[in-house]
């Protein structure tokens, strides 16, 4: 293929501000769109980028159509292509967050928490402070208050544990899974567990930033699933943005407010 038509193809397919790698051997619009879609689904829907399995591709496409409330066709049509071509940086114009299946949430306006065990990487007072800070990041957006208790049963039990720790969800040693938390409910519901085999830090040392991880886990404890927005705290992987000055993304706020509503301004802390 001559160079000029390829450049024209670039120009017509790429909205300003979006740079997608185009395959060098691209020969037609359909093929380019297919590659573009594969790239998109790989990045945001965990499609294996090397897969040649058309069924898997179709399934991921259907998953995406469901997420965007489009008719489920499993086909690359103009509406889905349009969404894929929207720039993914900055404030997204579509909600990217998710909720758990039955939308579980706390019905009481006061949710209690208890810190059951600690890491030896940080002073206890630092852990207490960071937990309070992480909970506050959420509660300042919604009409919900957190109260710490030392005895009795709390809604949200927070613990550091390693390996098997009694919930059929064993931790896996240093790296990989850093923590997990359960959606709102009785018993284990709402509880947040942090892998004691990680090196936890308050940001002053190398290691896993506890404030970031705690904020993510408490998002689950409150009823949020994962977000497809890489800027969101509820994005499934650790360490995307600047951890030093992180705050909730617009998408996180929209997600939590779908469940609990907004905190009225005069009570905003």
Q: Which residues are catalytic?
A: 217
The option from ligand SRS, Ca ion, Zn ion, none interacting with 7 (CB < 5 to 8 A, set by class) reads none
Residue 193 as a binder of Zn ion (CB under 5 A): the answer is: yes
Minimal distance, residue 260 CB to Ca ion, in Å: 30
Q: Smallest Cα–Cα separation from 148: which of 191, 114, 124?
A: 114
Residue 228 as a binder of ligand SRS (CB under 6 A): the answer is: no
* Chain residues 151-180 in contact with Ca ion, contact rule CB under 5 A: 172, 176-177
Residue 176 as a binder of Zn ion (CB under 5 A): the answer is: no
Residue 236 as a binder of ligand SRS (CB under 6 A): the answer is: yes
Residue 195 as a binder of Ca ion (CB under 5 A): the answer is: yes
Minimal distance, residue 162 CB to Ca ion, in Å: 8
Minimal distance, residue 205 CB to ligand SRS, in Å: 17
CA distances from 198 to 118, 120, 204 (A): 12, 11, 15
Please check whether residue 202 is in contact with residue 164, taking contact to mean a CB–CB distance below 8 angstroms. no
Pick one of 28, 175, 187, 261: the residue that binds ligand SRS (CB under 6 A).
175
Considering only the stretches 56-64, 105-113, 140-148, 193-201, report the one whose residues sit in contact with Zn ion under the rule CB under 5 A.
Answer: 193-201
Please check whether residue 222 is in contact with residue 199, taking contact to mean a CB–CB distance below 8 angstroms. no
CA dist 69 and 256 (Å) reads 19
Residue 180 as a binder of ligand SRS (CB under 6 A): the answer is: yes
Residue 238 as a binder of ligand SRS (CB under 6 A): the answer is: yes
Residue 178 as a binder of ligand SRS (CB under 6 A): the answer is: yes
Pick one of 31, 167, 175, 176: the residue that binds Zn ion (CB under 5 A).
167
Please check whether residue 143 is in contact with residue 109, taking contact to mean a CB–CB distance below 8 angstroms. yes
- Which residues, 6 or more positions from 49, have their beta carbon under 8 angstroms from its beta carbon? 38, 39, 42
What are the structure tokens assigned to 51, written together? 């897969």
Write the burial class of residue 267 (CB in 10 Å: 0-12 exposed, 13-18 middle, 19+ buried).
Answer: exposed
Total residues contacting Ca ion by CB under 5 A comes to 4
Q: Smallest Cα–Cα separation from 57: which of 45, 68, 69?
A: 45
Minimal distance, residue 175 CB to Ca ion, in Å: 6
Which secondary structure element, helix H or strand E, spans residue 260, and what is its range?
A: helix 250-260
Minimal distance, residue 212 CB to ligand SRS, in Å: 6
CA dist 253 and 140 (Å) reads 10
The option from Ca ion, Zn ion, ligand SRS, none interacting with 217 (CB < 5 to 8 A, set by class) reads ligand SRS
The option from ligand SRS, Ca ion, Zn ion, none interacting with 193 (CB < 5 to 8 A, set by class) reads Zn ion
What are the structure tokens assigned to 167, written together? 């919930």
Residues that bind ligand SRS (CB under 6 A): 175-181, 213, 216-217, 220, 236-238
């Amino acid at each position: 293929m001559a160079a000029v038509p390829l450049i024209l193809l670039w120009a017509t397919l790429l909205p300003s501000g979006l740079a997608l790698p185009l395959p060098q051997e691209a020969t037609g619009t359909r093929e380019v769109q297919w590659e573009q879609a594969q790239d998109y689904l790989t990045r945001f829907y965990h499609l294996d980028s090397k897969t040649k399995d058309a069924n898997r591709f179709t399934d991921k496409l259907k998953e995406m159509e469901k997420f965007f409330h489009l008719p489920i066709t499993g086909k690359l049509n103009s509406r889905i292509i349009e969404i894929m071509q929207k720039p993914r940086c900055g404030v997204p114009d579509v909600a990217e967050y998710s909720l758990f299946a039955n939308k579980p949430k706390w019905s009481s306006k006061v949710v209690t928490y208890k810190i059951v065990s600690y890491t030896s990487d940080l002073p206890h007072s630092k852990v207490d402070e960071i937990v309070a800070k992480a909970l506050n990041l959420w509660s300042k957006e919604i009409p919900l208050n957190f109260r710490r208790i030392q005895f009795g049963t709390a809604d949200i039990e927070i613990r550091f544990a390693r390996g098997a720790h009694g919930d059929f969800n064993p931790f896996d040693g240093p790296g990989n899974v850093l923590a997990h938390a359960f959606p709102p409910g009785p018993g284990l519901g709402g509880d947040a567990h942090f892998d004691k085999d990680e090196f936890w830090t308050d940001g002053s040392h190398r290691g896993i930033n506890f404030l970031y991880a705690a904020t993510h886990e408490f998002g689950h404890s409150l009823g949020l699933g994962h977000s497809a927005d890489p800027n969101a705290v509820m994005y499934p992987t650790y360490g995307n943005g600047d951890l030093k000055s992180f705050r909730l993304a617009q998408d996180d706020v929209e997600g939590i407010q779908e469940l609990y509503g907004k905190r009225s301004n005069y009570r905003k802390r």
